[in-house]
């Protein structure tokens, strides 16, 4: 399922847990309808959206983590596939957008933090950096968060970024994909596209 990657030299990927709103964000970025479901784990294979003009695409990778009714070995396989995909294509990936649920992320990270456990989200953030893919954390569903500043500082803290979050605006982007409020993400992505000499892709962000 992961093998049929369109032949594109530049790519932006969306990664994250199931049910954080990746497919909704994908639709917001591309203007293209993507299957979304009420049940987590609907996206099981990469959704590529490639424009006919430039040599570029945006890819929504399957969500990982707990999914109702999905056996653990399948969940682990999805996570492995996502990691392998990013690793194999790292030299073509301009930005890795890690989507978090702003309302639940801190609780989930804290619940899975322990001496022998690194939370998936934190692990993925550092993994992107390790393979030289610029990470942008899209903190979604911020319209449902009461204390935005505190929540974003807490997320920075969990990711090993020194708060306040405002000094990480190329990395932390508070958004509400459902409401179409994604300006902070566009700004962050454009920063990295500019650094990569790809201002030609601004038209998509």
Tokens of 80: 């492995």
Domains identified in the chain and CATH numbers: 10-196 (3.40.50.300)
pLDDT in the model for residue 38: 44
What is the residue whose two structure tokens read 């997320």? 155
Percent of the chain clearing pLDDT 90 (strictly above): 60
Q: What is the mean pLDDT of residues 101-125?
A: 87
Tokens of 48: 């590529």
- The model's confidence at residue 2, banded by pLDDT at 50, 70 and 90, is low
What is the residue whose two structure tokens read 């982007």? 173
pLDDT in the model for residue 3: 66
Buried b / exposed e over 12-45, threshold 16 CB at 10 Å, is bbbbbbbbbbbbbbbbbbbeeebeeeeebbbbee
pLDDT in the model for residue 40: 46
Instruction: Give the model confidence (pLDDT) of 18-46 as tens digits.
Output: 889 998 999 898 887 655 444 444 556 78
Helices (H) then strands (E): counts for the chain: 6, 6
Tokens of 97: 């957008």
How many angstroms separate the first and last alpha carbons of the chain?
28
Neighbours of 136 (CB within 10 A): 25
């Amino acid at each position: 399922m992961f093998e049929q990657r369109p032949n594109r030299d530049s790519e932006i990927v969306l990664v994250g847990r199931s049910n954080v709103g990746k497919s909704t964000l994908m639709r917001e970025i591309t203007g293209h309808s993507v299957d979304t479901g009420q049940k987590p784990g609907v996206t099981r294979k990469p959704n590529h959206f490639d424009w006919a003009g430039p040599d570029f695409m945006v890819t929504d990778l399957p969500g990982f983590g707990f999914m109702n009714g999905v056996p653990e070995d399948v969940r682990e396989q999805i996570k492995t596939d996502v990691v392998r995909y990013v690793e194999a294509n790292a030299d073509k990936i301009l930005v890795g957008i890690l989507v978090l649920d702003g309302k639940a992320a801190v609780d989930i990270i804290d619940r899975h933090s322990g001496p022998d456990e690194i939370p998936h989200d934190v692990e993925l953030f550092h993994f992107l950096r390790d393979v030289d893919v610029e990470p942008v954390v899209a903190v979604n569903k911020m319209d449902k968060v009461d204390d935005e500043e505190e929540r974003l500082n807490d997320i920075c803290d969990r990711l090993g970024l020194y708060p306040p979050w405002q000094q990480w605006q190329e990395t932390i982007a508070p958004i509400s994909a459902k409401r179409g409020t994604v300006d902070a993400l566009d700004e962050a992505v454009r920063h990295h596209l500019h650094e990569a000499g790809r201002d030609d892709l601004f038209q998509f962000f």
